[in-house]
Amino acid sequence: MQFLLPLASILGIEVDELLDRLKKNAIAWSAVALFGLIGLAFILVAVANAATLAWGPIVGPLVVAFGAIVIALIIWATMAIIDGIAKRKAVEKRHSQEKTALVTTAALTALPILLQSPLMRKVGIPVGGALAAAFLLSKSNGHRHTDDDTLD
């Protein structure tokens, strides 16, 4: 945790204030969770009682237990699917970064050989610079104007 303090100070985050706020809110969130669990327990007791009245003392609790297991399986399957998607995206991102690194390495390796050619020095470097400038100028820099300043 100590290594994060300089980073936090660079970013302008007051760590002590943040920790104090978390401690104060932790008590409130604990109370919310406690009373939420108490309410959930009473709802489950009411559901079990209703199921017992509807289907009998053996089948009613079994229906409630089966419903809880089905809900747990649905949540587990959803989390497994989300985890699989995240892993697949991470693998795709890593492959993309590896491919970019390979192309960059190949280009940097070939650059000295290409620069030995007089034609490349006279034509290739200016054309490459112009293409790089066009690419950099065509990229959006995050500033977009939504207002249309033209007159109709």
- 40 and 60, same structural domain? no
Q: Are residues 61 and 111 in the same domain?
A: yes
The enclosing H or E element of 16 equals helix 15-55
Q: Total structural domains in the chain?
A: 2
Q: Do residues 37 and 71 share a domain?
A: no
DSSP string of 72-131? Answer: HHHHHHHHHHHHHHHHHHHHHHHHHHHHHHHHHHHHHHHHHHHHTSHHIIIIIHHHHHHH
Residue 124 placed within a domain: no
pTM of the model: 0.51
* Cβ-Cβ contacts under 8 Å for 14 (sequence gap 6 or more): 8
The answer to whether residue 14 is domain-embedded is yes
Owner of token pair 């009411």? 46
Picking from 12, 35, 55, the residue at the C-terminal end of a domain is 55
Indicate whether 44 and 62 sit together in one domain. no
For residue 151, being part of any structural domain is answered with no
In a domain, 71, yes or no: yes
Residues 26 and 39 in one domain: yes
- Domain membership of residue 64 (yes or no) is yes
In this structure, is residue 123 part of a structural domain? no
- Cα distance between residue 126 and residue 136, in whole Å: 15
Same domain, yes or no: 47 and 4: yes
Domain that holds residue 80: 56-117
Per-residue model confidence as pLDDT tens digits over 96-146: 889 888 888 887 887 788 778 787 777 777 888 888 888 888 876 555 555
Indicate whether 49 and 68 sit together in one domain. no
* 45 and 81 part of one domain: no
Residues 64 and 112 placed together within one structural domain of the fold: yes
Least confident of 31-40, 54-63, 67-76, 119-128: 119-128
Q: Which residue has the higher pLDDT, 47 or 130?
A: 47
pLDDT band at 152 (very low <50, low <70, confident <90, very high): very low
